Amino acid sequence: MKSNAINVTEESFASLTALWKSQNRLDWNSIFVLPAWMQVWWQEFGRGDKPYFLNVKQGEETTGIAPLFLQGKTASLVGSADVCDYLDFIVVPGQEKDFFNTLLDDLKKRGIEDLDLGAVRPNSTVMTSLVPLAREKGCEVSIKQEDVSVELELPDTYDKYLALLEGKQRHELNRKIRNASAEGKLNYRIVSDKAELNKTLDDFFKMFTESRHDKAEFLTTDMETYFRSLLDAMAGIGLARIGVLDLDNVPVAMILYFDYRDCIYLYNSGYDPRYESLSAGLLCKVMSIQAGIESGKKVFNFLKGNEIYKYRLGGKEVPLYRCGINIG
């Protein structure tokens, strides 16, 4: 007879990767909780902290993973707001209460007094399961909205997508497409081959830094190293993409995104300033939406930030919360 006893083990990045590749019921619910993503973040930004990857098992089955790092008496989810838009635990659906009960008990035994969790979505396990449980246990909980993510539910045809837009925005978008098409042949293509992605990345960085001053300031040497490592790791598991908009076979705009499950995650973008009058950056995103619809995707996630173009292209806000829990 198999035992159903609950036990906990600590995992490494290697064992997490093996667990992700294996057949299990865990919900790896976004790109930001994948082992490949977390490992790159840790290598670049996890200096001086202690990783703590708790695996809660019931018998032989893993019911949840807590990807945490410890700083003194505080535990936080692996990631940071500047490059990881939102975070969460990795749990088998329906096993959340048992998982979080075990996690809280284990953290208290280790002398952890505070959980600093953010940013998290309203539908995260943090908000739907951990927060109610913590309050039930009498823990002090603080929740504060700190940002928004913007996403678009994709219909099954591009015409239906256009119909979702406000009349003024639909008219303006069609006008921009006509104007750009009058200058030459527009073509949107997707780069997914690992070697080709690495080669295309230099052109992407050039557009990224030239299209906006704040992006040029953001792309420090350390951040460029992180982007290159991240693209290499995510390409290694088949999720990285660069979408390229060509005008008469000349690249004029690019987006860096990740294709995971039924969602496109728009991570960053840039365009050649010489084609700013043609709205090359915006059109590249529109054609990526069209390509996503045609490939059967359900969500186009513009990710964190309230830039106006996201709303004009049909995106809706999802609040992001910072959650603190005192368990001491």
Mean pLDDT of 121-140: 97
266 pLDDT higher than 50: yes
Question: What's the farthest any 2 CA atoms get from each other in the chain?
Answer: 72
Answer for the pair 320, 119: CB distance below 8 angstroms, yes or no: yes
Task: Give the closest residue to 84 by CA, choosing from 104, 102, 100, 69.
Answer: 69
Weakest-pLDDT range from 42-56, 107-121, 223-237, 288-302: 42-56
* Sole residue written with tokens 């294709």: 259
Q: What does the pLDDT read at residue 1?
A: 42
Q: What does the pLDDT read at residue 23?
A: 76
Distance CA 46, CA 274 (A): 39
Which range in 19-23, 50-54, 135-139 is most confidently predicted, on average pLDDT? 135-139
What's this model's pTM, rounded to 2 decimal places?
Answer: 0.95
* Sole residue written with tokens 């080709």: 196
More confidently predicted of 294 and 118:
294
Domains (range + CATH), the chain: 6-147+320-326 (3.40.630.30), 155-297 (3.40.630.30)
Answer for the pair 310, 302: CB distance below 8 angstroms, yes or no: yes
Residue type, 241: R
**Residue 64 CB burial class (10 angstroms; 0-12, 13-18, ≥19):** buried
Weakest-pLDDT range from 77-86, 95-104, 212-221: 212-221
DSSP 51-88: EEEEEEEETTEEEEEEEEEEETTEEEES--TTT-----
Q: What does the pLDDT read at residue 119?
A: 94
Mean pLDDT of 310-328: 96
More confidently predicted of 26 and 51:
26
- Digit-coded pLDDT (tens) for 146-155: 999 999 999 9
Which of helix, strand or coil describes residue 149?
Answer: strand
Q: What does the pLDDT read at residue 237?
A: 97
Task: Give the closest residue to 216 by CA, choosing from 206, 227, 226, 230.
Answer: 206
Which of helix, strand or coil describes residue 90?
Answer: strand
Q: How many secondary structure helices (H) and strands (E) does the chain include?
A: 12, 13
Mean pLDDT of 3-32: 91
Q: Compute the mean pLDDT over every residue in the chain, rounded to the nearest whole number.
A: 95
259 pLDDT higher than 50: yes
Peptide bond into 119 cis (omega under 30): yes
96 pLDDT higher than 90: yes
- Provide the CB-side half-sphere exposure for 259 (13 A, CA): 21
- CA angle 22/230/291 to nearest 5° reads 85
Cβ within 8 Å of residue 252, ≥6 positions away: 245, 246, 271, 272, 274, 275, 278, 280, 284
Mean pLDDT of 205-233: 92
- In this prediction, what percent of the chain has a pLDDT beyond 70? 99
Residue type, 126: V
- Confidence bin at 53 (pLDDT 50/70/90): very high
